[in-house]
Each structure stands twice: as structure tokens, then as C-alpha cells.
Structure 1
Amino acid sequence: MELNYTTMEKFDIEPYGKKDFRNEEAYLRAEKRLKELKGFYWHAFWYVAVNIFILIMIVSNGGNIMHFGTWSTPFFWGIGLGFHALSVFGKSRLFGKAWEERKIREFMEKEERESRNYE
């Protein structure tokens, strides 16, 4: 069997550089962030939809609006939704880059002090 080199195509394969990995990491972080946002928005949608339904059912059946049971679901679920919002939107404020850098400096300074104590 003989190969015909005139019909073979040439493929240039570029090496994977650091820039490619950074782009891939950035994409994966963005994708993760998108999933977090989407999860929160769905949670908020169902919170509003279900609680409106519950309130309509209570009012249409002649229930007492000022009863604790009427507002317990929105209240406790709202607390959960608030924590979900903090986990999605509060990370950058509470544990952002500035906080990370400050903690790294603190750990490094502590390590340096401890290493001087053992010398």
C-alpha cells in the first residue's frame, strides 16, 4: 500500500500556553458564577410564586391574614433566600480580593514571627 502525499492535509498544532489555561480558568469561573446567579434567580422566582399562591389560598378561604401561620412560610423561607443572596452576591464584598490579600499578609507575618521565635 502506497500513501499519496499530495492529498494529505497539513494541520498546524499550536502548543498550549499559559494564556490558554488562563482563558479556560476564566471561562470556568464565569460559568460557575452564571450557575450561581441562575440558581438564585430561580430560588427568588419560586419564593415569590409559591408565597403569592399561599396568600391567595388563605385569603380566598377566609383565613386570617394577621395570623402567624400566614406569614411563617414567607418569613422563614425569606431568611433562607437572604442567606442564598449573601452566598451569591456577598462573597465579593465579605471575602473579596482585599480580604484575601489582608489575610495572606497576616498569615505570612505570623509565620515569620513564629519562625524568629525558634531561631
Structure 2
Amino acid sequence: MANSPLTPDDIDRLARKRAGAKLGWYTHATVYVLVNLFLFAMSQYAFGTRRWSLAPVLGWGLGLALHGISVFVIGSGSGLRERLVQKERDKLQRERGER
């Protein structure tokens, strides 16, 4: 069974949702860079050591990476997600046809 074609309203809604998710990640990345540059400068010039500024970079960086994966790899409309959904549809249709 083929997917039903999307209406122009469906396409617009999906495009806005995807663009919003990507814009959210870009905002997150910008804040990450700005805040961590500030923390790095504080650790270097105010406290004389940079060691403690590495913890927020790594911890928040992991969160940013996971956010990026959820938006660009697994998120709605990504190739991987669409392939997995189609695989599950095919599997369910085969099971339904066998019964």
C-alpha cells in the first residue's frame, strides 16, 4: 500500500515543523558557543586556570550532540526515520496478510 500523497497544507505544516526543529538546534548551538566562550574567558582571566571550564563544555556538548542527532538524524523527516517507519509498515502489512 503506497503512502497517500500529502496535501499542500500537510506539506506546509511538516515543513514548518522541521524548520522549527532545526532553528531550535541552531539557537541551542549559538547559546552553547557564546556561554562557553564566556566561561572559558572567565576561567582564564578571572581565575587563572582553564580546567573547570572543560566540564560545562563536555557536558553541555553531549546534550547539544544528542539534540542534533534527534533533529537531523532521527527527527521527523530524516531518511533514517522514514526508512524505519516504512520497514515497520511493510512488516505489519506482511503479518496482516499472513493471518
TM-score, normalised with respect to structure 1? 0.69
**Residue 23 (structure 1) aligned with residue 11 (structure 2):** no
Alignment partner, residue 106 of structure 1: 91
Q: What is the distance in 2 between the residues matched to 1:95 and 1:36?
A: 15
Aligned pairs for 1:1-119 (under 5 A) are: 22-65=7-50, 67=51, 69-91=52-74, 92-96=78-82, 98-113=83-98, 115=99
Q: Deviations over 1:46-102 (max 9, x none)?
A: 00000000000110024322x2x3211011101110111011110214312x22221
Q: Which amino acid aligns with 1:105?
A: D
Deviation of 1:110 (Å): 2.8
Q: What is the distance in 2 between the residues matched to 1:75 and 1:108?
A: 44
Tell me the percent identity.
Answer: 26
Q: What is the distance in 1 between the residues matched to 2:86 and 2:22?
A: 25
Alignment partner, residue 12 of structure 1: none
Q: What is the distance in 2 between the residues matched to 1:73 and 1:62?
A: 16
Q: CA RMSD in A?
A: 1.9
Structure 2 unaligned blocks of 5 or more: none
- Secondary structure in 1 aligned to 2:49? coil
Q: What is the distance in 2 between the residues matched to 1:101 and 1:62?
A: 55
Structure 1 unaligned blocks of 5 or more: 1-18
Structure number with the higher helix fraction is 2
Number of matched residues? Answer: 92
**Higher radius of gyration, 1 or 2:** 1
